[in-house]
């Protein structure tokens, strides 16, 4: 299903290192420059998606305001810079803070599948909690990803590398799919989508 468009772009194997110089390849008798990455792609029973480099926002305190999911104030979210060094592209999630990113991959979930999103152990061991909601049957778009840094240190979250794992549950097609009921988060773009009612 993934190869037929359920996940795009789709990586049919688990990627743990990438060639940092695409101009070189083994066929040219030149050893590629490889860099270890936080794994992404197809795993044993799931799929590890990547964080998009397009956008990452961090909640900040705006005096006199309260975060209200029925009337969300976008000023409570501050865009953060994408950094780059020899280890890759990354955002910094400050200690004891909460941030929103977006998946690089676009999902088109069939009507007989529901997707559960869970955190990757590499980030969990750094104090990053992925607080993700399911992608329901017939949902489409780029997932907005939610992260809490429970540690007392700032933490990097790498773009274009694995950030959460998707687990797929198959059943009979549901009576009323996300598309049928016209869910409010359908067809999300590759940008952070804010809370709405």
CA atoms of 129 and 118, how far apart (whole Å):
9
- Counting every residue written for the chain, the total comes to 197
The tokens of 89 are what? 């592209």
Task: Name the residues annotated as catalytic.
Answer: 146
Q: Are the C-beta atoms of residues 167 and 116 closer than 8 Å to each other?
A: yes
Unique residue bearing structure tokens 């990113």? 101
Q: Are the C-beta atoms of residues 101 and 51 closer than 8 Å to each other?
A: yes
SS3 assignment, position 6: helix
- Number of neighbouring beta carbons within 10 Å of residue 132: 21
CA angle 132, 137, 140 (to 5 degrees): 70
Element (H, E) at 122: helix 121-124
């Amino acid at each position: 299903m993934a190869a037929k468009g359920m996940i795009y772009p789709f990586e049919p194997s688990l990627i743990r290192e990438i060639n940092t110089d695409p101009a070189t390849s083994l066929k040219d008798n030149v050893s590629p420059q490889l860099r270890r990455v936080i794994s992404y792609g197809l795993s044993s029973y799931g799929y590890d998606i990547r964080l998009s480099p397009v956008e990452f926002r961090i909640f900040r305190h705006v005096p006199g305001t309260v975060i209200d999911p029925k009337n969300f104030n976008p000023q409570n979210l501050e865009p953060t810079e994408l950094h780059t060094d020899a280890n890759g592209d990354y955002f910094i999630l400050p200690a004891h803070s909460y941030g929103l990113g977006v998946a690089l991959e676009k999902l088109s979930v069939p009507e007989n599948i529901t997707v559960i999103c869970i955190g990757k152990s590499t980030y969990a061991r750094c104090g990053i909690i992925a607080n993700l909601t399911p992608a329901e049957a017939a949902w489409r778009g780029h997932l907005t990803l939610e992260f809490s840094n429970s540690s007392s240190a700032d933490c990097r979250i790498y773009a274009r590398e694995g950030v959460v794992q998707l687990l797929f549950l198959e059943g009979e097609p549901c009576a009323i799919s996300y598309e049928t009921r016209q869910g409010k988060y359908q067809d999300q773009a590759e940008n952070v989508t804010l809370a709405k009612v």
